[in-house]
Chains A and B, each alone.
Chain A
Amino acid sequence: MSQKVLLNSTEVNITLHRLACQLLENHTSFHNTVLIGMQPRGIFLARRLATMLEDVYKVNNLHLGHLDITFYRDDFRRSDKPLAANQTEINFIVEDKRVVLIDDVLFTGRSIRAALTALQSYGRPESVELLTLIDRRFSRHLPIQPDYRGRQVDAINNEKVKVCWLENDGEDAVYLINN
């Protein structure tokens, strides 16, 4: 097993600032926008961006939620591993809101497909956008592309992209792991 650093902590920070600014460009005051981080790993990125928007870019009343898609996945009973659910926490109305879905790595697009279905259970959003830190292009199974991307990566299938967060893994970094 070998691993290669795709982004180090400084680069992660620069990318986060750029993503926050891109969000600002499109959503300005965020008065009708909600950020939804996808469980389990997307919530770290969502929290970081929310904190950055509030502290550095002085956005007030930012809505942040977590969405778990376990019950909406299309591989129930198909994968060998049982699917364990995580917490969903959406304490606001999604109806007529501009939703930004946030996940760390976009790979096949299947989780996003599930998230779009799951989101419908909370109402009919005005629009849904997708933000991912890492976009593994050429590996999509579905016609899904990010609206905001941190870094595009060409990884072959048996390679794995691992995103580490200071608050969870002890460092900010993105690795390409080759098994």
Chain B
Amino acid sequence: MSELSVNHLLGIKYITKEDIELIFETADQFKEVINRPIKKVPSLRDITIANLFFENSTRTRLSFELAEKRLSADVINFSASSSSVKKGETLVDTVNNILSMKVDIVVMRHPNPGAGIFLSKHVDASIVNAGDGAHEHPTQALLDCYSIRERLGSVAGKNVIIVGDILHSRVALSNIYALQTLGANVKVCGPKSLIPKYIHKLGVGVETNLRAALQWCDVANMLRVQNERMDISYFPSTREYTQQYGVTKSLLDSLDKEVIIMHPGPINRGVEITSDVADSKQAIILNQVENGVAIRMAVIYLLASKIKRDDSN
């Protein structure tokens, strides 16, 4: 089996364990490629990719763009703030206009959950979801699991805690799907107000005490508090949040084991983790960023290989 079961990467929910393993095996090869003196392969010379970002992003957009360029694809970038979206154009119209310029793959971030799924039904291109509202962020979950696999050898059987703002997090949902598919045990930890009501339906445990959570886990994935998505107050103050759910070096040192610390970025230093934790050996935050490029190369490569060539014209 060396082909994805899907033509789009819309979410982890829609792909299989075999797909994830294939993406990881392909990413292994790309990781070697991006550590060569010349970090570029010519595989996607005849593929054009549009990066459509209807929501702000630095890391993800750069990572996708770099991945695409390392595969020799042609890349066009589009951000909503400087586009016709402001003038009232619909999503399908915007994308169809871009596709009429012969684009094969669309990488899209959008504030509305399900935007990628909607688009995949209406336009003729492979869609990669780069984050849709509070729904999914599949490539982030893939690179998180890939980083765990790289550090601990495998994901199966590991205990992973996701700490912080679960309610507004697309990273959390995608991570839960991916980790469970790969056989990890997942719990979430955070203030009750930031944990979705029906989280147990996903088979995820809830822990409200951070120390107990860290004691249980092998890996802690620290999420950012997404102030921009909060229309009401979910906790009394940032200081109180930090006191209860912020990870400090002294807290980690007081445990009788070494917990791996991950963070999807951007970090609010001093809020969810302190600086000395972010910069410690236990943190694999920068490995996650490096792996992000390899994972995105693998996803795009595998999706591109499913696009049929049209030699008729």
Q: How far is the CB of B43 from chain A (nearest CB, A)?
A: 4
Complex alpha-carbon distance, A78 and B46, angstroms: 12
Q: A170: CB under 8 A from chain B?
A: no
**Nearest B-chain residue to A71, judged by Cβ:** B41
Q: How far is the CB of A6 from chain B (nearest CB, A)?
A: 30
Tell whether, in the assembled complex, residue A78 and residue B309 are in contact, meaning their CB atoms are under 8 Å apart: yes
Q: B38: CB under 8 A from chain A?
A: yes
Tell whether, in the assembled complex, residue B36 and residue A121 are in contact, meaning their CB atoms are under 8 Å apart: yes
Q: Mark B283-313, 1 if CB is under 8 A from A, else 0.
A: 0000000000000000001101111110000
Chain B residues within an 8 Å CB radius of A87: 28-29, 32
Kindly identify which residue among A68, A71, A88, A122 contacts B43, using a CB–CB cutoff of 8 Å. Answer: A71
Known: A77-B307, A83-B305, A88-B29. Contact between A72 and B37, CB under 8 A?
A: no
Q: B211: CB under 8 A from chain A?
A: no
Tell whether, in the assembled complex, residue B38 and residue A82 are in contact, meaning their CB atoms are under 8 Å apart: no
Q: Mark A113-154, 1 if CB is under 8 A from B, else 0.
A: 000011011110000000000000000000000000000000
Complex alpha-carbon distance, A73 and B43, angstroms: 7
Residues of A within 8 Å of B, CB-based: how many? 21
Complex alpha-carbon distance, A88 and B231, angstroms: 50
Q: How far is the CB of B295 from chain A (nearest CB, A)?
A: 14
Kindly identify which residue among B41, B44, B307 contacts A121, using a CB–CB cutoff of 8 Å. Answer: B41
Tell whether, in the assembled complex, residue B36 and residue A77 are in contact, meaning their CB atoms are under 8 Å apart: no
Total A-B Cβ pairs within 8 A: 57
Tell whether, in the assembled complex, residue B38 and residue A72 are in contact, meaning their CB atoms are under 8 Å apart: no
**Nearest A-chain residue to B306, judged by Cβ:** A82
**Nearest B-chain residue to A94, judged by Cβ:** B37
Complex alpha-carbon distance, A62 and B125, angstroms: 49
Chain B residues within an 8 Å CB radius of A85: 25-26, 29
Tell whether, in the assembled complex, residue A72 and residue B305 are in contact, meaning their CB atoms are under 8 Å apart: no
Q: Tell me the A46-77 residues at the B interface (CB within 8 Å).
A: 68, 70-73, 76-77
Tell whether, in the assembled complex, residue A76 and residue B37 are in contact, meaning their CB atoms are under 8 Å apart: no
Chain A residues within an 8 Å CB radius of B307: 77
Q: A84: CB under 8 A from chain B?
A: yes
Q: How far is the CB of A69 from chain B (nearest CB, A)?
A: 10
Tell whether, in the assembled complex, residue B37 and residue A123 are in contact, meaning their CB atoms are under 8 Å apart: yes
Known: A70-B29, A122-B37. Contact between A82 and B305, CB under 8 A?
A: yes
Tell whether, in the assembled complex, residue B32 and residue A88 are in contact, meaning their CB atoms are under 8 Å apart: yes
Chain B residues within an 8 Å CB radius of A71: 29, 33, 41-43, 71, 301
Q: B3: CB under 8 A from chain A?
A: yes
Chain A residues within an 8 Å CB radius of B26: 85
Q: B40: CB under 8 A from chain A?
A: yes
Kindly identify which residue among B25, B36, B305, B309 contacts A122, using a CB–CB cutoff of 8 Å. Answer: B36
**Nearest B-chain residue to A89, judged by Cβ:** B32
Q: How far is the CB of A65 from chain B (nearest CB, A)?
A: 12
**Nearest B-chain residue to A117, judged by Cβ:** B42
Tell whether, in the assembled complex, residue B43 and residue A76 are in contact, meaning their CB atoms are under 8 Å apart: yes
Complex alpha-carbon distance, A76 and B47, angstroms: 11
Complex alpha-carbon distance, A128 and B44, angstroms: 26
Q: Tell me the B152-187 residues at the A interface (CB within 8 Å).
A: none
Q: B77: CB under 8 A from chain A?
A: no
Tell whether, in the assembled complex, residue B308 and residue A77 are in contact, meaning their CB atoms are under 8 Å apart: yes
Chain B residues within an 8 Å CB radius of A118: 41
Chain A residues within an 8 Å CB radius of B42: 71-72, 117
Q: B112: CB under 8 A from chain A?
A: no
Known: A77-B304, A77-B305, A82-B2. Contact between A121 and B29, CB under 8 A?
A: no
Q: How far is the CB of B24 from chain A (nearest CB, A)?
A: 12
Complex alpha-carbon distance, A86 and B29, angstroms: 7
Tell whether, in the assembled complex, residue A76 and residue B32 are in contact, meaning their CB atoms are under 8 Å apart: no
Instruction: Kindly list the 8 A-B residue pairs having the minimum CB-CB distance in the complex, ordered from nearest.
Output: A71-B41, A84-B2, A121-B38, A85-B29, A82-B3, A71-B43, A82-B2, A77-B309
Q: Given contacts A76-B304, A77-B305, could you give 14 more A-B pairs where the C-beta distance is less than 8 Å?
A: A70-B43, A71-B29, A71-B43, A71-B71, A76-B44, A77-B308, A77-B309, A78-B309, A86-B29, A87-B29, A88-B29, A120-B38, A121-B36, A121-B40
- 7 intermolecular pairs with C-beta atoms under 8 Å apart: A76-B43, A77-B307, A85-B26, A87-B29, A88-B29, A121-B41, A122-B38
Binding site for B on A (CB under 8 A): 68, 70-73, 76-78, 82-88, 117-118, 120-123
Binding site for A on B (CB under 8 A): 2-3, 25-26, 28-29, 32-33, 36-44, 46, 71, 301-302, 304-309
